[in-house]
Amino acid sequence: MNERTLPGTLDVIGPDTFARHGYPHAAWKRLREEAPVHWFDLPGGVGFWAIVKRDDVVWISKQPERFLNAPRLAIFEEGAPVEGERTLARHLLNMDPPEHAEFRKAASHWFTPRAIERRQPEIERITRDLLAEMAGDGSERTGDFVADLAAPLTLHVLADMLGVPRADWRLMFRWTNQIAGASDAEYQTGDDPINSVEDARHGLFAYFTDLAAERRKQPRDDMVSVLANATVSGAPMPAFELLSYFLLLVVAGNETTRNAASGGLLALIEHPGELRKLRATPALVPSAVEEIVRWTSPVIQFCRTPVEDVELRGQRIRRGDSLCLLYPSANRDADVFADPDAFRVDRRPNPHVGFGIGEHFCLGANLARLELRAIFAEVATRLDSVSLAGPVERMRSSFLGGVKRMPIRYRLRPA
Ligand code: HEM
């Protein structure tokens, strides 16, 4: 291994790299091959170990008592806000056992395969309504796939589940963009990403304080009612944790599926043979969706902190060090995936970790799969032609692979 030729920190985790070029797959591949557990200093901040192999991501994620979530949520380029992030919110992603499971239980029955299946007709209807707008009379059109389908679909589905009235959806949309896009000038409310998050958090907390109070008086069949009336270890859920729960659901539910949908269509545009395959065999939609999640890996990373010294692939990791689990890299690991840099809608098996694994496995995975299946089933059967009509614009973030705009030219058959 020649350390001097290895990629630098910002080539591996830098938000500008993501914004300009998309994911640095070549840099991650070099790490997987030459330095799979490698320490990076972070200019102006606390450094981290890059964990780039799938088996290592799995090994660490499956030991939640040994590798904690609470000390550091993720690595941010600025080095901060390790302290800041802890005081901003307390939710599933920065809790650890045994507390984590208690809080997760409060919402998990809303996300079981059965519970999500019941939402299928509604999700398919929302998808078809949005596509009807896009299709027009079936002639060739141009539009922005993010604004026309990916963003409104995920927003609508989540707002309905939470029980947020339609008039307030634009507020939710603004807050989620401001929090997820805190490092991107387009969404920032000040010079400092923390100010953007703080600003959005205040708005969101105030809003859900009122909505939760309403639902305590008059519960409905929605998630705000369930959480507002939930107990944890026999007592009502504390206000800060309750509001943080809403913040997590709003951001996690919007910023991920939206990007998987846009990135998935982009992958099909860039691999016309795979789009043809999907059109010829729409039964491939479920496996295509898994491949889309593997390929796009919308969550770039989360961090774990060991409670004791550990050795991994010959590296001595100290208690309290930060381990950065890079999901998109794990999902291209040649030790696990045959021909990992090929996008294949019929890939099987596909043991990707795009939704994470273990204790914190994505709570919304069943919902995300259903939304993506609804979209790509229609794409497989009705999209007669599609190509890019301009550059894809990506979000500046070290954390989420965001697609801000994706102009397309297309012909969509009316239903
Ligand atoms: C394609 C879409 C999605 C992707 C790629 C994704 C990815 C992830 C990942 C990587 C994690 C961390 C897992 C770990 O640490 O092992 C996670 C956790 C989580 N996700 Fe998702 N997610 C998606 C959609 C959603 C949706 C639609 C919702 C909710 C409506 C959601 C809610 C959550 C929650 C609440 C957690 C925290 C779980 C915990 O800590 O116990 N996600 N997600």
Count the Cβ atoms, other than its own, within 10 Å of residue 358: 15
Which amino acid would we find at residue 296?
T
Which amino acid would we find at residue 188?
Q
Closest residue (by CA) to atom 11 of ligand 1?
Answer: 362
The alpha carbon of 248 and the centre of ligand 1 are apart by a number of angstroms equal to 9
Ligand 1: lining residues by beta carbon, under 6 Å? 61, 92-93, 104, 158, 248-249, 252-253, 256-257, 260, 293, 298-299, 302, 327, 354-358, 360-364, 367-368
In terms of Cβ atoms closer than 10 Å to its own Cβ (0-12, 13-18, 19+), residue 171 is middle
Write b or e for each residue in 183-208: b if 16 or more Cβ atoms lie within 10 A of its Cβ, otherwise e: bbeebbeeeebbebbbbbbeebbebb
Nearest-atom number in ligand 1 for the CA of 260 is: 1
Nearest-atom number in ligand 1 for the CA of 61 is: 16
Interval 159-200: pLDDT, tens: 999 999 999 999 999 999 888 888 888 887 766 666 778 888
Nearest-atom number in ligand 1 for the CA of 100 is: 41
Interval 116-168: pLDDT, tens: 999 999 999 999 999 999 999 999 999 999 999 999 999 999 999 999 999 99
Query: How far apart are alpha carbons 116 and 266 in whole angstroms?
Result: 27
Nearest-atom number in ligand 1 for the CA of 359 is: 41
The alpha carbon of 18 and the centre of ligand 1 are apart by a number of angstroms equal to 20
pTM of the model: 0.96
Residue 76: pLDDT band (50, 70, 90) is confident
Cα 160–Cα 165–Cα 168 angle in degrees, nearest 5: 115
- Domains along the chain with CATH numbers: 3-164+261-412 (1.10.630.10)
The alpha carbon of 369 and the centre of ligand 1 are apart by a number of angstroms equal to 12
Three-state SS letters, 292-314: HHHHHCCECEEEEEECCCEEECC
Closest residue (by CA) to atom 16 of ligand 1?
Answer: 356
